[in-house]
Amino acid sequence: MRSATIDHFDARAVFRGLLDGDDYRNRVAGACIYRCPRCDHRIRFRWRSFYQANSRSVFKRQLQRIFDDLTPSLPADEQGFLDFYCPTCSAPTRIVFGAHDYTKIAYHFDIYAALVGEGKPDK
């Protein structure tokens, strides 16, 4: 299977543009840039990307179960994830985030980690 190896990356290792404050860490403010650790491809995620994620996976069931087993639990937060394949190397990737409801119609999103599988080998 192409994704036999899945590595865990801290949010700061693969994201730019996250904010830190007194009561939060790695908060998405408007937009942030993800850099694939496999191929260096950059993807811009807007705040809305996390709001619309709804923790629905694009992975086949077997791969989704592997990622589910490796996803860290965040019992104090409303946990979410965003699954996608890197557009350049096809590495399966899961971004793990916390969704914090601060009003009935607005959320804050704090990114905790990225789980990244193996992409296509370089030719």
Task: List pLDDT tens digits, range 104-115.
Answer: 667 889 999 999
Residue 59 domain-assigned (yes or no): yes
What pLDDT band is residue 72 in, cutting at 50, 70 and 90? confident
Query: Residue 107: inside a domain, yes or no?
Result: yes
Residue with more model confidence, 122 or 107: 107
**For residue 122, is it within any domain?**
no
Say if CB 97 and CB 80 are below 8 A apart: yes
- The answer to pTM > 0.85 is yes
**Residue of 63, 108, 113 lying closest to 90 (CA atoms):** 63
Provide the token pair at 68: 């589910």
What does the pLDDT look like over 24-59, one tens digit per residue? 889 998 899 999 999 999 999 998 898 888 778 999
pLDDT tens-digit readout, 75-121: 555 788 999 999 999 999 999 998 877 666 678 899 999 999 998 86
Q: How many domains does the chain have?
A: 1
Q: Domain range holding 77?
A: 6-117
> Going along the chain, which residue ranges are E strands?
6-10, 15-19, 27-35, 42-46, 78-85, 92-103, 106-117
Whether residue 45 lies inside any domain: the answer is yes
What mean pLDDT comes out for the span 65-69? 93
Report the pLDDT averaged over residues 59-87: 87
Residue 8 has pLDDT above 70, yes or no: yes
Contacts of 21 (CB under 8 A, 6+ apart): 27
Q: Residue 113: inside a domain, yes or no?
A: yes
The answer to whether 78 touches 17, Cβ cutoff 8 Å, is no
